[in-house]
């Protein structure tokens, strides 16, 4: 036993020393600045616990804020609130599992004197190092596909939102424009460099959430408003999978942790970020659904029902900027993967890396034009991709990593204080896998795909202006 404790202590000590050395290197790089509050340090070099919190909170809730009232109309207010809390807590648990596996992987590699100075660790590499190449392939496939469609959703949301300020151009044209704008994220090297963007993004989302809340309450209930949801199982589970998607934003957890100076402090950050997100999503979705009720079934974007005003225009503009930031969050891990494939990941030139990254944006742009179904696409991605990427695979990977008694004894991170035994951890992981597999992927997949196919049948692929009101010229008298 003393030998095991010494070995465990050596692993953790080695990991701590490594991260402390990286932090010192960053400090030395900035030593030449005239002030510790230099613009470069303030805006560009993020890596603290606070930076990670802002990144998690900002990335977790973006355009989905506008579709949650739509989900409430599908499943009812009570179910909407309960499932937000449930999936928020469940998502925080699997984010914790991802952080534990990252620390385990990095601790083992540091023990082998492996340096990550010019290398960003990613989720599929963690799976490869801990469980082998088959897990790597599965993790890479699901994670990249989810992040690809996550980026697609941000582009679709940009076009959907700007249309409510300027409807002279159709949504497809706006998608072309914002695709070009979002392509500029290729110049942001890593998550270290999202410091100011994460802060601004969360501030913008906070404004939008409280605008939706206050504007709905001031507007009051529309005449003859009804709240009949849920009326159909297909609608109920479509709404539920959108909420599953909402709290499944931790596909970039490993990259955010790697950008931290002390990654071992990440464990509770995602939960704290989720608690703040609850203060945005629950009041706004509840208020909008209370005011407009079942009208939301045909209006997946909450902006479409609120009266035009300067306050709404400000919210739209702020959400557009935030969606640009979230696009970068979702795309940056894809940029890293592509850099590693073509052998450019260690290149220090930002311009060369930017040119290398551009091919990643092209399929995202194309898919956003093919499937412009703002709202329904969230549920489809939630059920088919998020369910595995950030719920089932992390829980399974954690169970397989620590299946042997020796692995559990030498674990870099022991079970948390609220689940002090490995049995309890395995029980919670098993529950997570079964619930998400049956409810999220099974029933949610059936419902969301049925709704998605309905949108394709109604509007067609490459829809020019999804859910746009008919123009005066198209109305025949």
Report yes or no on 323 lying in a domain.
yes
Return per-residue pLDDT of the chain as tens, 477 residues: 444 444 444 444 545 555 555 454 444 444 444 444 566 666 666 778 898 899 889 888 877 888 899 999 999 999 999 999 999 999 999 999 999 999 999 988 888 877 777 788 889 999 999 999 999 999 999 999 999 988 888 888 888 788 878 778 777 788 888 888 888 888 888 777 888 888 899 999 999 999 999 999 999 999 989 988 788 888 899 889 889 888 887 778 888 888 888 888 888 899 999 999 999 999 999 999 999 999 998 888 888 899 989 999 999 999 888 888 888 888 988 999 999 888 888 788 888 888 999 999 989 988 888 877 666 777 788 888 899 999 999 999 999 999 999 999 988 888 988 888 999 999 999 999 999 999 999 998 898 888 778 877 776 676 666 656 665 444 332
What is the extent of the structural domain holding 110?
46-459
Question: What does each C-alpha distance from 378 to 152, 416, 452 come to in angstroms?
Answer: 10, 32, 10
Report yes or no on 6 lying in a domain.
no
Q: What is the CATH number of the domain that holds 289?
A: 1.20.1740.10
Task: Say how far apart CA 153 and CA 22 lie, in whole Å.
Answer: 35
Report yes or no on 12 lying in a domain.
no
Task: Say how far apart CA 114 and CA 112 lie, in whole Å.
Answer: 5
Report yes or no on 109 lying in a domain.
yes
> Helix (H, G, I), strand (E, B), or coil: what is residue 146?
helix
Task: Say how far apart CA 86 and CA 247 lie, in whole Å.
Answer: 10
Report yes or no on 11 lying in a domain.
no
Q: Sort 473 into a burial class: Cβ within 10 Å, 0-12 / 13-18 / 19+.
A: exposed
Report yes or no on 246 lying in a domain.
yes
Is this model's pTM higher than 0.75 or not?
Answer: yes
Is 452 within 8 Å of 376 (Cβ atoms)?
yes
Number of domains in the chain: 1
């Amino acid at each position: 036993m003393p030998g095991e404790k010494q070995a465990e202590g050596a692993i953790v000590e080695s990991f701590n020393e490594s991260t402390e050395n990286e932090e010192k290197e960053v400090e030395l790089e900035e030593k030449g600045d005239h002030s510790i509050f230099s613009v470069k340090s303030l805006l560009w070099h993020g890596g603290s616990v606070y930076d990670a919190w802002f990144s998690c909170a900002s990335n977790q809730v973006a355009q989905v804020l506008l579709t949650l009232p739509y989900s409430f109309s599908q499943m009812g207010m009570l179910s909407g609130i309960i499932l937000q809390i449930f999936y928020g807590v469940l998502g925080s648990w699997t984010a914790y599992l991802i952080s534990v596996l990252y620390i385990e992987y990095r601790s083992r590699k540091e023990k082998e004197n492996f340096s990550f100075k010019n290398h960003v660790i990613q989720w599929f590499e963690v799976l490869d190092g801990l469980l082998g190449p088959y897990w790597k392939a599965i993790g890479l496939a699901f994670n990249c596909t989810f992040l690809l469609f996550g980026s697609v959703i941000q582009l679709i949301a940009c076009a959907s939102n700007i249309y409510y300020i300027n409807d002279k151009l159709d949504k497809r044209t706006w998608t072309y424009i914002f695709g070009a704008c979002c392509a500029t994220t290729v110049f942001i090297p890593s998550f270290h460099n999202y410091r100011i963007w994460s802060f601004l993004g969360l501030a913008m989302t906070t404004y939008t959430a409280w605008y939706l809340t206050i504007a709905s309450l001031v507007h009051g209930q529309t005449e003859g408003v009804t709240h009949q949801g849920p009326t159909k199982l297909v609608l109920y589970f479509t709404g539920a999978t959108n909420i599953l998607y909402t709290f499944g934003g931790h596909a970039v957890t490993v990259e955010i942790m790697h950008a931290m100076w002390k990654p071992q402090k990440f464990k509770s950050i995602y939960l704290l970020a989720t608690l703040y997100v609850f203060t945005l999503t629950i009041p706004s979705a509840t208020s909008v659904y209370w005011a407009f009720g079942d009208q939301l079934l045909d209006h997946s974007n909450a902006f479409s029902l609120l009266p035009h005003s300067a306050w709404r225009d400000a919210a739209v503009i702020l959400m557009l900027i935030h969606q640009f930031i979230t696009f970068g969050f979702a795309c940056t891990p894809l940029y890293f993967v592509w850099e590693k494939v073509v052998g450019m990941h260690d290149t220090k030139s930002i311009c060369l890396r930017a040119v290398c990254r551009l091919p990643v944006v092209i399929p995202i742009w194309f898919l956003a034009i093919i499937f412009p179904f703002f709202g329904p696409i969230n549920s489809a991605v939630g059920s088919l991709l998020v369910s595995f990427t950030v719920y089932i695979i992390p829980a399974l990977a954690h169970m397989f990593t620590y299946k042997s008694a020796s692995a559990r004894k030498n674990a870099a991170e022991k079970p948390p204080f609220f689940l002090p035994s490995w049995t309890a951890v395995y029980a919670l992981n098993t529950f997570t896998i079964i619930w998400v597999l049956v409810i999220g992927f099974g029933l949610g997949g059936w419902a969301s795909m049925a709704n998605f196919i309905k949108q394709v049948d109604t509007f067609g692929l490459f829809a020019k202006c999804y859910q746009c009101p008919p123009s005066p010229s198209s109305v025949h008298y």
